Amino acid sequence: MRWFFLGLLGFIDICSATAFAAQLRNEEAVIPPQCYTKTEGQHNPCYICHQSHPKGTRLNTLDDGVLQAAYAFSEYGETNHWKNFFKDFSKHTATVTDSAVLDYVRQDNYAALYSELTPASGQGAIALKDLGSPDKAFDDLGFANDGSGWVAFNYKPLPSSFWPTNGSADDVMIRLPMLFRQTEDGKSSRTLYLLNLSLVELSIKELPRISIPPTEEAEIGVDLDGDGALGRANSIVYRQYYLGAAAGIPLQRQMYPSGTEFLHTLRYLDVRDKEQVVAAKRVKEIRYTKKYKDLSEPAMRYMYNVEQREKEQGRLPNYAWAKPVEKAGLNNGMGWYVQSWLEDKEGRLRLANYEENFFCMGCHTTVGTTIDQSFSFPRKIDGAKGWGYIDLAGMPDVPNRNELEGEYLTYFTRTGGGDEFRQNEEMLTRWFDDATQVDTDLVKSADVKTLITPSPERALALNKVYWQIVKTQSFSQGRDAVLGNKRNVFDHIDPATAPVLPVEKTYHYDLRLDWSSFLQ
């Protein structure tokens, strides 16, 4: 992306941005390995990220659906620079015992980072106590027990890089600014906070009403459910303004209020009792975003138009640090700061450097699927049932909006596999007949946890590969743990000869889900 003069703390220094760009070994690190998949003119995993928007009400107007059909990269991007993807890690992983890797992933590496995240360090904003033990960190409604204001929510993982079977378990928390957590006279109110979070959900999902925990309307003096009386409300309807101390702040369609934060952790996979695969205590990566500025709808459309023109012109992307650097991360030019933490070679969590953060910008700036740069919150279970730490057990494979079949079933069919690369042999064996046709009845009979949780053997193998990447600190060469021979991935793309997808194999995808059957 070109240099923008957006920023809460002043103009971005173009010379500084140029200096940071000089640090890159991969100047197109915003193109992830998944984009080099061989579609062979029939397999389309690309529809999850890239959308055409000729019509409709989406504010994300990037209109990058052409990337479903063709490899429309810059000349530099035509070469796959993710060298780790083509390495054979078997020699290294063969020397690692199952017990050794299990001992490693069962260690808490977050507690040490938490002790460093003080206000004086400039990074205290993300601190959440007991993040290494989510069962201690959150109550039943997802509120952090440490009073930090973070709230966990239950959502359906995006296909397919965020599926545990493809390497990592994850979780996401949201936090709104203090005004959204207080009464008009400045007193802390958990009730008002949850109501304001529910209003954010209505805005992002464009719903007229969602359920809330039973709430006495008389206590806040607001008719929440729109029935004309102050009684006990079990739902909240869309309204023009937030509540409590935030009553002067209007809801913006498909936008989070300024100051919204997200905290996203990726975790190793643990194996309990030799058969149960669960999220490990050890954190692979922490991703943190903060919305520092509200943009109007015209401003958003303008920014996406600029982004689209730069893509068409083949310009290489460029981002600058927010100022001061240690406090925020990279500025995506669309109102958000993006920062991440990775493991050092000893397994301690450390701030990601410029190139490692640069990798994150491809998904949090330059794809047509996101809603206000986010993926997970639009996928939250609607309303009251969706508050609480992520739990996939019993979650059905609900469809996306405007789709009839389950999202994961649809993904298997359109992609021809259980990952972008059609590389996950276990998924092909489990959910496909002869590794070619999806076993529709079998997929429909399974819940989300069953569909996307790997076997203990696969979980351990994925852990070992990623641990080797950590030991070599080679994140700039790729951080995906992929097993076996990478037969369906280009190392270099010739746009003149690479097969393209026909129009009937391209799709419009809304990452928001239809939870109606689950909530009846």
d(CA 375, CA 157): 9
- Least confident range from 69-73, 177-181, 288-292, 473-477: namely 69-73
Mean local confidence (pLDDT), 156-171: 95
Helix axes 98-105, 456-472, angle to 10 degrees: 70
CB atoms within 10 A of CB 429: 11
Confidence of residue 13 (pLDDT cuts 50, 70, 90): very low
Q: Is residue 448 part of a domain?
A: no
Q: Is residue 366 part of a domain?
A: yes
Q: In terms of DSSP H, where are the helices of 364-489? A: 407-415, 425-431, 440-444, 448-452, 456-472
Among 135, 158, 161, smallest CA distance to 448 is for 158
Q: Is residue 65 part of a domain?
A: yes
| pTM exceeds 0.85 for this model | yes
Q: Which residues pair with 267 in a beta bridge?
A: 169, 283
Q: In terms of DSSP H, where are the helices of 172-319? A: 190-205, 297-312
Q: Is residue 3 part of a domain?
A: no
Distance of CA 139 to the CA centre of its chain: 23
Q: Provide the strand spans (E) within 116-167.
A: 151-152
d(CA 46, CA 43): 9
Among 72, 63, 46, smallest CA distance to 414 is for 46
- Which pairing describes strands 209-216 and 349-351: parallel, antiparallel, or unpaired? unpaired
> What is the residue type of 313?
Q
Distance of CA 407 to the CA centre of its chain: 17
Q: Which residues pair with 371 in a beta bridge?
A: 374
pLDDT, tens digit (0-9, with 9 covering 90-100), for 378-427 = 999 999 999 999 999 999 999 999 999 999 999 999 999 999 999 999 99
Q: Is residue 447 part of a domain?
A: no
Enumerate residues 6+ apart whose C-beta is below 8 A from 496: none
Q: Is residue 132 part of a domain?
A: no
Structure tokens at 98: 């199952």
CB atoms within 10 A of CB 488: 18
Q: Give the count of domains, the chain.
A: 1
Q: Give the pLDDT of residue 173.
A: 97
d(CA 246, CA 284): 36
Residue 162 has pLDDT above 80, yes or no: yes
Structure tokens at 302: 């303008």
> What is the residue type of 395?
M
Task: Check residue 204 and report its DSSP letter.
Answer: H
Q: Is residue 499 part of a domain?
A: yes
d(CA 108, CA 125): 20
pLDDT, tens digit (0-9, with 9 covering 90-100), for 311-337 = 676 677 778 877 665 456 888 888 899
Range of the domain at 353: 14-109+155-174+261-402+454-519
Q: Give the pLDDT of residue 108.
A: 96
Residue 120 has pLDDT above 60, yes or no: no
Q: Is residue 369 part of a domain?
A: yes
What does each C-alpha distance from 235 to 156, 219, 337, 385, 396 come to in angstroms? 22, 15, 33, 12, 23
Do residues 23 and 45 lie in contact, with contact meaning Cβ atoms separated by under 8 Å? Answer: no
Q: Give the pLDDT of residue 327.
A: 53
d(CA 431, CA 427): 6
